[in-house]
Amino acid sequence: MPAFTHSPGRDTQAVCQHFPRNVNDDSASVMPMDDLTLLRALLDTLPRPAPRPLPEEAAAPDMVDAYAQRVMQAAETFLRQQDVPLLLLGPAVAPLRIGRGAPGMRIVIEPVEGARNLLMGPPFDSFATLGMATLPPAGPMSASTVRTALLQPLNDASAPCMMQAGRAWTEHGGRRHALEVVPREKIEDVVLGVALEDMQPGMGLSELMGKAGGVRVPGGTSAGLMAVARGQLGAFLDARCQLSACQWLAGAALVRAAGGVVMLLDEALEQAAPPVNLLQPRALVAAANRALLEDILAHLRRAWL
């Protein structure tokens, strides 16, 4: 089975040191790093997949699962070294309490979203992503409650997309570049991203794809949401009802901060209750603005309800 290798980033020991409250204060009092600094330092310690030939089909799931397990183990090791009480959550694992005292945040990690893209490489704008988000220690898990978010493409050299304090950006050449959604309000005027994989689109989705100005299959929910936040897609729809919160929290927060809207599809169509746990499977729609979202939902309601 092909192995994944660890490619460390910059010296995280320096990044992770607590810093003085006041540079003129000689006391030992310190304040902890903020959420995003913690996530960026954590990202630099996590293993990255090394390029390898496509494995045998039977070995591929084991390869991705092994990589995901390594990421979660590395995250736990790093976070235990920091004096930050928190809850660590990820796919298919119980919440893990780290640090002393009452948790001050939850960190949700999706080690790899878009496994097929990770194995085959990025066709067009399709990427596998590693996603992280911080939330308050209690309360609902939604795009509106995410405090910070980070999405890192895994199979190319792109810089991560980040969100903090209601702003979303990426960085090039040492400078921040704000993420902005595309200003279009009709499905006919935008490129629509859809999550299909092996699923055949039903009647409503086929009609919606036919009305869109263009259609793209990004190959992963995080990649689709990131493309909406970047203005590369006008909207993204994943109607498979297979998404856990790990897969959409970071990307949905990016879309909101870039000026877009995100809604769980069953809530939009049927006024369902919000998710009660991390792994509850959901469907999702994201759009550049409320008018475009309502245009998409109107098409779906006519076909499905």
Tell me the β-bridge partners of 162.
150, 169
Do 108 and 245 contact (CB within 8 A), yes or no? yes
Residue with more model confidence, 120 or 44: 44
Rounded to whole angstroms, how far apart are CA atoms 170 and 152?
10
pLDDT over 70 at 175, yes or no: yes
Q: Is the pLDDT of residue 270 over 60?
A: no
Domain 12-178 class, CATH top level = alpha beta
**pLDDT at position 14:** 35
Instruction: Tell me how far apart the alpha carbons of residues 65 and 208 are, in angstroms, rounded to a whole number.
Output: 34
For residue 155, the one-letter residue type is N
Higher-confidence residue of 205 and 267: namely: 205
- Mean pLDDT computed over every residue of the chain: 80
We find that the CATH architecture of domain 187-304 is 3-Layer(aba) Sandwich (3.40)
Q: Domain-by-domain residue ranges, the chain?
A: 12-178, 187-304
**For the residues 173-184, what does the mean pLDDT come to?**
92
The residue type of 78 is: F
**Mean pLDDT (whole number) for 258-273:** 73
pTM over 0.75: yes
